[in-house]
Chains A and B, each alone.
Chain A
Amino acid sequence: MASHLIPRVLQSIAVVFVVITLVFIGSRLIGDPIEAYAARNATQEAIDAQRDRLGLSDPMIVQYGNFLLGVVQLDFGDSIFSERPAWDEVAPRLWATVQLSLAAFVLILVIGVPIGVLAAIRRGSIPDLIARMLALVGQAMPNFWLGLLLIFVFSVQLGWLPTSGRGGFENLIMPALTLAGFGAAAAMRLTRSGMLEVLSNDYIRTAQAKGLANRTVIVRHALRNALLGLVTVLGIMLAQLLAGSIIVEVVFAWPGVGRLIFRSISLRDFPVIQVGVLVIALWFVVINILIDISYNFLDPRIRVGGDA
């Protein structure tokens, strides 16, 4: 197991490295905010001095080296706007986003998978039809629109839930539901189709022929095999929820890291962009490693990283 993991982790580090390199290049290409936000009568000398202070007048490769050196030492530079360490800007918002993402993921699991299984077992029944319609609508609904509709119905019309902001559990419900909407629908569909595929396989029919109880067959064989295909998709979902929460954060005024990066891009506050994306990339690769590990347990036929 460990011998499989080590190269896997090294590869993941390479992934993160590539991502932050791309971000470094991207955030240099959009330019820096020094001129835009310099004092109104600042002289060119003052602007140059400011650039020197931030190390922006160094050659790109030197800047890149300094950046990597900083990352290794967990020093990501100061935000240009708040002049505080960029990490201090990201950290408080990170928990907000992780909270939202995890809540959404739980909803995906709780809504998507069971309904998908149910729909597959009762294929063609009314519940199946409803589930499929739900899934289709869920996947066809842009999430900012879903968010606005939820606000309109549950906050304005019914007055059950607060419209926005972060606070208690009730603040979390609608953003999480909005973020989960698409994923839950996709999970429902994929669970259903995965189950149907497995159910049609020979070995299931064999098991059925052997006289195993229908329920046991489904749980022990079909679900396990259907999950194999799902783990990848669910894993990607969980990993991408973090990055995909920008719109939900905007609609529900959720003070998260997605919105921070979004705004930092428009402000050209590149130290903050870099840390923000680094965090998202780390989150992603860690979850991917977990997915690969879970493969080993789910399908012994696959030898993860064995000959890679």
Chain B
Amino acid sequence: MTRHWTRLRRSRLSRRSLLKASARAGVGAAGLALVGCGDDDDDQQSVAQAQQQDQDQQQAAQQQDQQQAMQQQAQQQQQAMQQQDDQAEQQAMQQEQQEQSAAEAQAQQEEEQAVADDNIDYNATAIGAYGAFPQILDQGSALARGGQSASNNYHFGAVFPLDPFGSAVPGGLAEWEFVGAEALIVRMNEGRTFHNGDAVTAEDIKFTIDRLTGKAEYNPEYNSAWTGELSWTGDNELVDENTLRIEQGAPSVDAANSLALGGFPVFPKNYLEEVGDDGYGQFPVATGSFKFVEWSPDEYIKSVRNDDYFNDREYAYAPRLPYLAGFEARLIPEIGARVSALEAGEVDLANSIPPDLAVPLGETGDYNVFYHPAQRGLHIKLPMTIEEDPYNPGQPNPWRDRRVRIAANLAVDVDAITQNIMTGRENYTYTLSSGQFGFPEELPEQRWGYDPEEAKRLLAEAGYEDGVETDLIYLAGLYTNDQLFMEAIAEMLREVGFIVNLIPEDISKFLGEARNKELTAPYLFPQSAGFTSIGSMAISVDSAATYEHRVEVLSDERAEVDRLIAEAKTEFDTERRKELLSDLVRIHYLEASWIFLFELVQTHVAASRLHWDPYFLQPPSVELWNLRSMKT
């Protein structure tokens, strides 16, 4: 229990590092074999290196590569002065290496993978079925909300790449340099192009930031989805044609990270000004690992591999040059129809399939089930800012009583839900998501476990023997099995004396109410927790500021929480920052500020030829660049 948090991280780290190493050796060899066939692998050097290594040395080489990768990573982060602490991960990794059995098993697995990599079909294409499509394909627009995993996440590429923990590293489109906490200097790398062949210039980066912060001259009213992430930016100016200086208007440890987030869009200035916002929403040209070809709204989105993608397959970080030559996303809203389409062979990948259907399909051996640890720590937010009980005017809001909140937490048997309704792989969440903050190691010992009797007692003690009346709001159909687990939660709350009226709500209505702070009832928080690095904490606090503080506590602790957030946001010393964040998480959890649930694990089912492992700790969606099709 106590190791719950670190265990996840450690095992992931080890697997990723090994995969990285094996990808170098294995893919290099595969690349060699394919050079004559005109494969687009342009990293001759690593091919040559791979050639020199014989099979017996591979294991050692992997270890070495792994160490190098880690050191390189650590160096870059130290140089950058502001990167968050990866010492914990390094220690964790060393511990992991001592845990021989687990490590060996995984090494074995990865070795098999390396062999299997010889079988990758680089000319293969795939069709994926999705339950939702965006309305437009402009990743920058708030109007494109929903369904991005079907499209924009792979058409668009960020300025910097990410390491497996979701931290930015210099490289990709540009290198960076911090000028203290004053400014971020972005230096463009040579030879990076947009999908239409235009070079990516510093002016494009400037345009991108201006557009996303509502400063672009062509349309200052642009409805940006990224203002929260870019709230640290101040003025920016071109130093020379290859260099952009971005002032840190509000100094943030996450300045570089925000330009590396999954799906962060870089726009081509000339093209966008030529076609306008509406034209761009229909035909995006960007820097992602896949090129947009055509779409029919509500029907399909066709893409091909961006063969000029600058991060090749041996690149240490992600995204990389995709394995698939092309991809078509199809919109199939019905879950049953998605599965049927997969079984009929019309699609190769069915996204978001409930475990009840996915697991039996996986057991047939004809399909691969992808367990996708989505970056969503689900929790039910409680309406604590309201003084009065909306159901009994004149009475105090019961949710402001800590005992009521604890009772609600004790009433919900989260493990029963994850074990029976979900995949069983979900972790209980103590905060936004376990990858998010510094995490107090001792917190699991203080977990609000399932204890309905104690919940009843607390309610009675708080003076609510006759129950607490409340609505419970959620957005129906947003997450796998959400109707099921919300009905289960409602029933569990009823068992201890809450009088629950469960309300599935419409997304537009919900978002409007949330923005206007008109939500007076507990609700399932529907948004992803931002990215997963410890350092991205500030982003998640900032981006939520317009709705409500994500970290919600009552007045006594409010000042302390605000202080911790403000301090952590500019605390460049990683150890110190982690302490601050741990304090924050602890206060928040022990105050039972939310009803804490679990970190969502989504299940996707694919034809047996398709393989995918999450590169990131918590990927935003199935990472298309990492989807491999095996030769059959």
Q: Does chain A touch chain B in the assembled complex, meaning CB atoms less than 8 Å apart?
A: yes
Select the stretch in A2-10, A155-163, A221-229, A295-303 that faces chain B: A155-163
- Determine how close the nearest CB of chain A comes to the CB of B485; give it in whole angstroms: 22
A46 interface hit (Cβ, 8 Å): yes
Q: Which of B142, B277, B296, B343 contacts A38 (CB 8 A)?
A: B142
**Which of B298, B341, B510 meets A93, CB within 8 Å?**
B298
A42-B344 in contact (CB<8A) = no
Inter-chain CB contacts under 8 Å: number: 140
Q: Is the CB of B223 within 8 A of A39?
A: yes
Do A163 and B337 contact each other (CB < 8 Å), given the known contacts A37-B145, A40-B546? yes
Q: Which of B228, B298, B510, B543 sits near A255, CB closer than 8 Å?
A: B298
Q: Is B98 an interface residue (CB 8 A)?
A: no
Binds A, one of B190-198, B415-423, B449-457, B511-519: B511-519
Closest residue of chain B to A267 (Cβ to Cβ) is B508
With an 8 Å Cβ cutoff, the count of chain A residues facing the other chain is: 45
- In the complex formed, the residue of A with least CB distance to B299 is A255
Q: How far is the CB of A74 from chain B (nearest CB, A)?
A: 19
| Chain B residues touching A, range | 35 or more
Question: Considering the complex, which residues of chain B in the window 267-301 have a beta carbon less than 8 Å from any beta carbon of chain A?
Answer: 277-278, 281-282, 296-300
Instruction: Confirm or deny: A176 has a beta carbon within 8 angstroms of a beta carbon on chain B.
Output: no
Residues from chain A with Cβ under 8 Å of B225 in the complex: 39-40
- Complex CA–CA separation, A16 to B281 (angstroms): 33
Task: Answer whether residue A95 sits at the interface, using C-beta atoms and an 8 A cutoff.
Answer: no
Stretch from B105-113, B169-177, B328-336 at the A interface:
B328-336
Bound together, the chains give a CA A40 to CA B506 distance in angstroms of 19
Chain A contacts of B510 at CB under 8 A?
36
B344 contacts A156, CB within 8 Å?
yes
Chain B residues with CB below 8 A from A50, complex form: 221, 223
- Pick from A76-84, A134-142, A190-198, A211-219 the stretch touching chain B: A76-84
* CB-contact partner of A260 in B281, B298, B333, B512, under 8 A: B298
| CB-defined contacts of B145 to chain A, threshold 8 Å | 37
Most buried by A among B135, B231, B341: B135
The distance in angstroms between the C-alpha atoms of A267 and B507, with both chains bound, is 7
Bound Cα distance from A92 to B512, whole angstroms = 30
Contact B333 A253 (CB under 8 A): yes
B509 at the interface (CB under 8 A from A): yes
Instruction: A93 to B547: give the CA distance in the assembly, Å.
Output: 35
Q: How far is the CA of A259 from the CA of B546 in the complex (A)?
A: 32
Measured between alpha carbons, how far is A255 from B300 in the docked complex, in Å?
Answer: 10
**Is there contact, CB below 8 Å, between A39 and B227?**
yes
Closest to A262 in B: B333
Residues of chain A in range 129-168 having any CB-CB distance to chain B below 8 Å: 148, 151-152, 155-156, 159, 162-166
| Cβ contacts B311-343/A at 8 Å (1 or 0 each) | 000000000000000000011111011001101
Nearest chain A residue, comparing its CB with the CB of B296: A255
Known contacts A35-B516, A266-B508; A151/B336 CB under 8 A: yes
- How many angstroms between the C-alpha atoms of A162 and B515 in the bound complex? 43
Contacts of B277 in A (CB 8 A): 83
- A296 CA / B229 CA spacing, docked (Å): 68
A41 and B507 contact, Cβ closer than 8 Å, known pairs A156-B344, A253-B334: no
Q: Measuring CB to CB, which residues of chain A are less than 8 angstroms from any residue of chain B?
A: 30-31, 33, 35-42, 46, 49-50, 53, 80-84, 89, 92-93, 148, 151-152, 155-156, 159, 162-166, 250-253, 255, 259-260, 266-269
Closest 7 CB pairs of A and B: A36-B511, A81-B135, A255-B298, A255-B299, A36-B512, A83-B278, A163-B341
30 A-B contact pairs sorted by A residue (CB < 8 Å): A35-B512, A36-B511, A40-B543, A40-B546, A40-B547, A42-B227, A46-B214, A46-B221, A49-B221, A50-B223, A81-B136, A82-B282, A89-B297, A93-B298, A152-B340, A156-B343, A163-B340, A163-B344, A165-B299, A165-B300, A165-B346, A252-B337, A253-B298, A255-B296, A255-B331, A259-B298, A260-B298, A267-B135, A267-B507, A269-B135
Given contacts A35-B511, A50-B223, 5 further A-B contacts (CB under 8 A): A46-B214, A155-B346, A163-B337, A253-B334, A259-B298
